[in-house]
Structure 1
Amino acid sequence: MSSRSDVTAAGAAHPPPVVGVFLKLLPITLAVFIAFLTIGLLLPVLPLHVSDALGMSTLMVGMVIGTQFAAALLSRAWAGNLADTRGAKRAVVTGFLFASCSGGAYLVSLAFLSAPTASVWILLLGRVLLGCGESLIVTGALSWGVGLVGPQNAGKVMAWVGIAMYGAYAVGAPVGMVVQEGYGFAGICVAAAILPVLALVLVLNVRAIAPTAARRTPFYKVLGAVWGAGIGLALCSVGFGVITAFIALLFAAREWGDASLAFTAFGLAFIGARIFFGHLPDKLGGARVALVCVCIEAAGQLLIWGAQTPVMAYAGAALTGLGYSLAFPGFGVEAVRRAPPQSRGVAMGAYVAFLDISLGLTGPVSGAVAGAWGIETVYLAGAVAVALSVLIAMRLLASGSKGSRHA
């Protein structure tokens, strides 16, 4: 009761207007965008480097890609604890440093091209550093943003941070191809090391918020409340995972040329859906929106699987991004609604952990599928996984029909 009244009082005392919220979040949003270009640049380039330059199998490609997400999962609780106990700004700055070091590790790996196994191990180290950095940046940026503009604007914080992340994927992929063509993989490595430092400089003068003194609730105490929505998120995230890991290899196998526009199509559709339809999960109910959106996403995966031209693959990537964009908050609304009010922040952390698990497993499992049945088959498998999340959405809709609408 007291915590809720405190929040209400804080919101009443500091009611930032919409423009004020945007301006306060702008430096953090831009910094997240610049830092996530480090990930976006590598999307179409790293799978080809591991496959062609190092001569590794599709399974190893999946392992290299998936390691980042596995590291993000394992560091999620640590990142949250650092943000709570040392301050969100400290977490974000530390994340930028980790991300910059990942670019340095990629650069060192080039010295071992004649020993591919050693080179891959160094790449894996870089992916671990990047995963930890991503976890710190996202967790810290969300906490920092909410601290600056108030919990009543938490939805705006999540929307802008998400747009920055996926906007970086959309822009970074084609830029990565340009850098690769002009300067090779070494140019990519240097850019990956420099960009997080630029992001760090951008937020140096942004006001820090005091660390929270609240005691964190352990993840396991809220997993029982969010596991259903979390499984739905894990299944629908497979569509994003297989595009991240294997669309570049699919284009190479079909001799379609540059795959970066597929990432751009995915990112633009994702951002457009968030901007124009992001209010629908709160208005119509999370499970209902997720049910429709995962069907759209599954259709996108099937379109890529059966694509005979690059344009069909681009369209499939766009449909995947469109559906996934609102499936994420759709299942998320259900997770928050089912969690105890006093533990909703921890519940969202536990919910996002299902995303980390999904993306961490999707790379190696899809790599094994590609090695056994062909690269295009990963998109059929992706469609099946996404379609299974329909069942989760239907179950959530049936079990919570009376309470799925939020005031």
Structure 2
Amino acid sequence: MQMSDAATTEGREPLWSRAFVLAWIANFMHSTGFHAYVHWPGWLEQRGAGEVMIGVLVAVMAIAAILARPVVGRVMDTRGRKLMLVVGGLLHVASPALYLLVDTVPEAGWAAVVGVRIVHGLAQAAMFSVLFTVAVDLVPADRRAQGIALFGVSGMIPMAVGGLLGDWVIVDGDYRTLFMVTGACALAGLLLTLPLPETRRGGPSRSFFAALLAPELRPLWFVGATFAMGLAAYFVFLKTYLLEAPQLGTMGMFFSTYAVSAVLLRVFFGWVPERFGLIRVLIPSLLAGAGGLALVALASSHVHLIGAAVLCGIGHGFAFPIISALVVTRAQPDERGSAIALFTAMFDLGVLLGGPSFGVAAHVAGYPATFGLAAGLVSVATLVFVVWDRRLVGAS
């Protein structure tokens, strides 16, 4: 990656500063460690968990992450970003080691798995919140959506890498190598964050929960949570669906296509949202994600699965950075850490609600109906958001 000389020449601040590049690589390593756990439901199924139990255990991690967000956000805004980078990094390094310990102790029960999920959830809450906050601090304000989109590439590529990583290292149902490799990724991410500068400027002027209740942010919390529920359908249950219907393809096939679609969109068209308007681009992005879920529901071959991955990748490719940019724009500058922590908490809330709900749906109605339900949910939520946000803008 090279610094943007053109931006400097034109009098614009460069996106690719040294600190931004370092944060980008650190996020890539941490995200690779996290996203490889799309294979984790297979480990649970191997240990005797059904769809509902898998959904519940996924929700445990989401609950831990949600409960940690107020603390994470407040610490970032009062004590600084560096402290949370170190604490979150250490928790992430510990998580795969604990999975490995549980895997190698035959008598370890579900309580031990729940404990590991809590630690993993705390790590996720810290790292995703703080790294995105640092990135937002570093990018120029007039190119915020583009900067967040490009930084998000460091989290999208690992979706492909993580899916393929599991395909490569999980041999004959042995997940120990997966835990060791993800632990190495977490350690590399921690070491890369150590040279990052402190980017906090000033302290918060109001409480963490003031951002939660701010009227201008409520529609964004809603659409973020419901979009995340849609994501939960394939992040949690695609693995077990493909084990049941192997003719559709593999996790690596889906997530590599998904990630490539999102990355190409962000790299070559990252300027589109700020050129044509954030909300105008957000709506078709959400609907593309819903279309991808619908295609998963209707899939009968690997071609359909690839098409679904393209649509889901396009939807996620723009929706996440656009909603992030809207949150940062509408929040007060001195509560940026709390606002981003809340935004990422909405994604955890979506997983919390979607994991058990779609687990029950899969158990009762089957996987195609479950993905169809997720597609309908995202479509309806998009319509509600459009009406809600337009009324809010009109009133203000």
2:207 aligned counterpart, secondary structure: coil
| 2:39 maps to 1:48 | no
Give the gaps of 5 or more residues in structure 1: 1-14
- Give the letter aligned to residue 122 of structure 1: A
2:310 aligned counterpart, secondary structure: helix
- Give the letter aligned to residue 239 of structure 2: A
Q: Decide whether the 8 Å contact of 2:254 with 2:309 is kept in 1.
A: yes
| 2:252 maps to 1:260 | yes
| 2:65 maps to 1:72 | yes
Q: Decide whether the 8 Å contact of 2:84 with 2:126 is kept in 1.
A: yes
1:149-188 paired onto structure 2 within 5 Å: 154-155=144-145, 157-181=147-171, 184-188=174-178
2:361 aligned counterpart, secondary structure: helix
Of stretches 93-102 and 273-282 in structure 1, the one that deviates more from structure 2 is: 273-282
Corresponding residue for residue 209 of structure 1: 198
- Give the letter aligned to residue 378 of structure 1: T
Give the gaps of 5 or more residues in structure 2: 1-10
| 2:209 maps to 1:220 | yes
Moved over 6 A (4+): 401-404
Q: C-alpha distance in 2, partners of 1:105/1:221? A: 36
Corresponding residue for residue 297 of structure 1: 289
Among 100, 120, 130, the residue aligned to 1:140: 130
Corresponding residue for residue 23 of structure 1: 18
Deviations along 1:131-188, one digit per CA (max 9) or x if unpaired, are: 2112222222233345556666654552343211121122111112101128920111
1:263-342 paired onto structure 2 within 5 Å: 263-332=255-324, 334-335=326-327, 339=331
Q: Decide whether the 8 Å contact of 2:77 with 2:336 is kept in 1.
A: no
Corresponding residue for residue 57 of structure 1: 50
Corresponding residue for residue 11 of structure 1: none
Of stretches 269-278 and 173-182 in structure 1, the one that deviates more from structure 2 is: 269-278
Task: Report the Cα offset of residue 42 of structure 1.
Answer: 1.7
Q: C-alpha distance in 1, partners of 2:180/2:160? A: 20
- Give the letter aligned to residue 26 of structure 1: V
TM norm structure 1:
0.84
Q: C-alpha distance in 2, partners of 1:153/1:270? A: 19
Higher relative contact order (CA 8 A, sep 6+): 2
Task: Report the Cα offset of residue 241 of structure 1.
Answer: 1.1
Task: Report the Cα offset of residue 226 of structure 1.
Answer: 1.4
Deviations along 1:9-30, one digit per CA (max 9) or x if unpaired, are: xxxxxx88426x3433112111
Task: Report the Cα offset of residue 217 of structure 1.
Answer: 2.8
Corresponding residue for residue 380 of structure 1: 372
- Give the letter aligned to residue 85 of structure 2: V
| 2:101 maps to 1:108 | yes
1:181 aligned counterpart, secondary structure: coil
**1:355/1:217 Cα in 2 relative to 1: closer, same or farther (>3 Å)?**
farther
What RMSD in Å do the two structures reach over aligned CA positions?
Answer: 2.9
Task: Report the Cα offset of residue 322 of structure 1.
Answer: 0.8
TM norm structure 2:
0.87
Task: Report the Cα offset of residue 357 of structure 1.
Answer: 0.8
Corresponding residue for residue 197 of structure 1: 187
Corresponding residue for residue 367 of structure 1: 359
Deviations along 1:83-136, one digit per CA (max 9) or x if unpaired, are: 2333312211221111111101101111344x4xx4433232222222211222
Q: C-alpha distance in 2, partners of 1:158/1:345? A: 15
Q: C-alpha distance in 1, partners of 2:175/2:205? A: 42
**1:342/1:378 Cα in 2 relative to 1: closer, same or farther (>3 Å)?**
same
- Give the letter aligned to residue 42 of structure 1: Y
Of stretches 284-293 and 242-251 in structure 1, the one that deviates more from structure 2 is: 284-293
**1:150/1:313 Cα in 2 relative to 1: closer, same or farther (>3 Å)?**
closer
- Give the letter aligned to residue 62 of structure 1: G
Among 233, 236, 255, the residue aligned to 1:245: 236
Q: Decide whether the 8 Å contact of 1:239 with 1:383 is kept in 2.
A: yes
**1:83/1:346 Cα in 2 relative to 1: closer, same or farther (>3 Å)?**
closer
Q: C-alpha distance in 2, partners of 1:24/1:342? A: 21
Q: Percent identity?
A: 22
- Give the letter aligned to residue 18 of structure 1: P
**1:90/1:338 Cα in 2 relative to 1: closer, same or farther (>3 Å)?**
closer
Of stretches 99-108 and 79-88 in structure 1, the one that deviates more from structure 2 is: 79-88
Q: Decide whether the 8 Å contact of 1:107 with 1:189 is kept in 2.
A: yes
Q: C-alpha distance in 2, partners of 1:345/1:83? A: 6
